Amino acid sequence: RRAGPARRGPAVLAAAVAALLVGMLAVVLSPSAANAAADAGSYTVSNAASGLCLDLPGSSTATGTQLDLQTCTGASNQTWTLATATTGYTITSASSKLCLGIAGASTSAGKAVEQETCSGATSQEWTLAAGTSTYQIVNVNSSKCVNASENATTAGTLVVQNSCDSTSTKSWNLTAGGTVPTTSASASASASASPSKSASASASASASASASASASPTSSSGGTTIATGDSRTVTEPTIPAVCQTLTATLATSNEQFTSSQEASPPDTSRIQAALTACKGTDEAVELTGSGSDNAFLSAPLTVPTGVYLVINDNATLYATTVASQYQSSSSDVCGTIGSSDSGCNPFIKVSGANSGIEGIRGSSGAQGTIDGRGDLDIYGTTTTWWQLGTTAGNESEKQNNPRLIVFEDANNAVLYDINLVNAAFFHVTYEKGSGFTAWGVRIKTPATARNTDGIDPDAASNVTIEDSYIQDGDDGIAIKGGSGASSDITIVNNHFYGTHGISVGSETNDGVSNVLVEDNTVQGTDSSGNVSTLNNGIRIKSYPSKGGTVSDVTYIDTCLSGIENLVELNPRYDSSSSTSDIPEFTGVLVDGLTSVNSVSGATSTIEGYDSSHITGLTLQYVNLDNTSYTAEYANVAEYDSNLQPSSGTGVTLAKLSAPVATGSVPSCTFPAFPSL
């Protein structure tokens, strides 16, 4: 860090610090003049409006973790170190030793206050603007103030930057020594909105989306492999420069358009022409609303190499309901039921490197939206896309519905701050590429909508999915190795609602390896109260005709609520007479798992295929509210786990004398799905 001259605070602070050292009392720093400054040192920082403390969720060591407000505890994840810098201070977490900064070094209102690797950037420097009895914390780069998102005063509120004014949520008390401040403001007690762990896995490399480059997992002193995930150093994406801006000419509030507009979507040609014209620029085609005109209606689109489709928070891109406009070269017919499901092209195909789809997140938290309109009748019929899927399932057939977004052969691709709603089929697949970041994605489709997977990497490497909210009618995430091996994948700080769980498989025939799943919550119902149709938490699935080796998969600090199948390792997911690719699951580590409110009959399944294909599982810091299980052909090791699969054909259970990595059972709360 850049050094700067030492700053002296007001005399009252010096006296207070002396009193703290002598009397071990908490001292609230109160500026006595408009230009008062704080001394370098350690503080808790509490919000003047709520009395809640600035908090690092779960004592995370991951760069890009956004701060929130929680009941003050005096713990290290609520202790912040001020050090003098060129212009003001750096603020460092006593827990992670990372610096506070603004996501993407943005100067825009509403951007996250997060922890980052200390770099000396001005976006990581802060000044303290003194009021009568509190401070405003001002970012040097943006000149914006640290604030509770939407001026909220409840525990779990995220912390952002906003324009400075007299709003009380932008004022803060500093309490010397990292102790719990005394305050008259009351705050509702709540645990972190993300899983929390008192000590992180010390034996692993920084196994987060921002882990330092490492192409292979690490081993603990006990020999158990700890996945490291994505080998890239990943930070929050940014919005690229604009190549062309297109303004909406349509208005809708209920997804409906005129019959003539549906038959010939008016925005297809101009959006595609702009994307093609901007190919290779590494810039964006931005879709924006104007007044009440907030909608674009389009047939399928292709995003070529070196261009980004960006949607403003005041606009929605709607997919056509005309099945024939999606028709692929297959003999299967889009919009029908058949023996295969290859009849439709996706709504958006991203093809080529350095490209992506992004939304602009406004100060209210709203962001751009893509609506697949799966809830509406297929044009010219009285059947919705979702009803077609349900009928196909009832008849043991396949639905020819269009996927919403397909990334194919798209290295270094981005999906960022975008709402994806009402997909007719899978929301996002990323196939045959290396380098994919999905960040700030909000997927919202009912749990009852069949085969509407959230995000599925397949034949993919160096993938990070972070800070996203996923609600759908199938797997929240499904990591596959069906058309090539998948490896080096990180799933961190995400929340799932009504899905089929965080999954590996079912196609694993080319192998899946080095997968890190950390700090995620899974709820068994969606935001409308619909219960998942296949209610899983942690899940690895495959079957003998599509199997292969799944190795080095690590789950750290996972929180489950209202789940039926808590841990499922299932090598017989689908019936198959073929044994050409028998599944084998090895090096699976569950490090920190809590379940609450599990449904009646909840259980876990720990199975290998046979005595030649044994599942290898390590459980530590596991506390389930239902410890029932079935097990066979599994070698299990455990430390501080109340799930202890000890019986079953070919099952062994070893009790570890020490953990693979130091930690604890995670404490959990479960955030509601955010407003779109």
Residue-averaged pLDDT of the chain: 88
Specify whether the CB–CB gap between 127 and 100 falls below 8 A: no
Domains and CATH numbers, the chain: 11-176 (2.80.10.50), 197-236+417-676 (2.160.20.10), 238-407 (2.160.20.10)
**Of the listed ranges 1-10, 67-76, 378-387, 475-484, the one predicted with least confidence:** 1-10
Specify whether the CB–CB gap between 585 and 625 falls below 8 A: no
Q: Coil, helix or strand for 392?
A: helix
Confidence (pLDDT) at 130: 75
432: left (phi over 0), alpha (psi -120 to 50) or beta: left
Confidence (pLDDT) at 263: 95
Confidence (pLDDT) at 61: 85
Tell me how far apart the alpha carbons of residues 663 and 554 are, in angstroms, rounded to a whole number: 14
Confidence (pLDDT) at 60: 86
Q: How far does the chain reach from its first CA to its final CA, in angstroms? A: 39
Confidence (pLDDT) at 62: 83
The bridge status of strand 348-351 relative to strand 307-311 is unpaired
Element (DSSP H or E) covering residue 22: helix 11-23
Tell me how far apart the alpha carbons of residues 367 and 355 are, in angstroms, rounded to a whole number: 19
CA nearest to 516, candidates 98, 93, 84, 214: 214
500, 510, 581, 591: the active-site residue? 500
Structure tokens at 118: 């200390």
pLDDT in tens, 56-81: 988 888 888 999 999 998 888 899 89
Q: What angle do CA 604, 610, 611 make, to 5 degrees?
A: 115
Q: Which residues contact 164 (CB under 8 A, 6 or more apart)?
A: 129, 136, 138, 143, 144, 145, 170
pLDDT at 7 over 60: no
| Residue 418 Cα distances to 34, 306, 412, 591, angstroms | 41, 19, 17, 31
pLDDT in tens, 469-480: 999 999 999 999
pLDDT in tens, 522-575: 999 999 999 999 999 999 999 998 999 999 999 999 999 999 999 999 999 987
CA nearest to 618, candidates 631, 633, 635, 601: 635
Q: Which residues contact 357 (CB under 8 A, 6 or more apart)?
A: 303, 308, 309, 310, 311, 348, 350, 370, 405, 414, 415, 416, 418
CA nearest to 539, candidates 506, 513, 512, 510: 506
pLDDT in tens, 574-616: 877 777 889 999 999 999 999 999 999 999 999 999 999 999 9
Confidence (pLDDT) at 619: 98
Q: Coil, helix or strand for 149?
A: helix
**Cβ-based neighbour number of residue 212 at 10 Å:** 12
- Indicate if 574 belongs to the active site: no
Structure tokens at 662: 């130091």
- Indicate if 500 belongs to the active site: yes
pLDDT at 284 over 60: yes
Percent of the chain with pLDDT over 70: 87
Tell me how far apart the alpha carbons of residues 203 and 198 are, in angstroms, rounded to a whole number: 15
313, 371, 456, 474: the active-site residue? 474
| Residue 222 Cα distances to 269, 334, 617, angstroms | 60, 53, 14
Confidence (pLDDT) at 4: 33
Tell me how far apart the alpha carbons of residues 56 and 491 are, in angstroms, rounded to a whole number: 19
**Cβ-based neighbour number of residue 73 at 10 Å:** 14
313: left (phi over 0), alpha (psi -120 to 50) or beta: alpha
Long-range contacts of 324-333 (CB under 8 A, 24+ apart): 325/265, 325/299, 325/300, 326/299, 326/300, 326/402, 332/400, 333/400
pLDDT at 11 over 80: no
What is the dihedral sign for C-alpha 260, 261, 267, 268? negative
Confidence (pLDDT) at 314: 97
Confidence (pLDDT) at 28: 42
pLDDT category, 223, cuts 50, 70, 90? low
Rounded CA Rg of the chain: 26
CA nearest to 615, candidates 590, 641, 579, 578: 590
Question: pTM score, two decimals?
Answer: 0.71
| Residue 134 Cα distances to 31, 56, 71, 356, 467, angstroms | 6, 21, 19, 43, 31
pLDDT at 394 over 50: yes
CA nearest to 164, candidates 179, 132, 142: 142
The bridge status of strand 477-479 relative to strand 502-504 is parallel
Q: Which residues contact 511 (CB under 8 A, 6 or more apart)?
A: 481, 485, 486, 487, 548, 549, 550, 551
Output helix, strand, coil percentages for the chain, rounded to the nearest 5.
Answer: 10, 40, 50
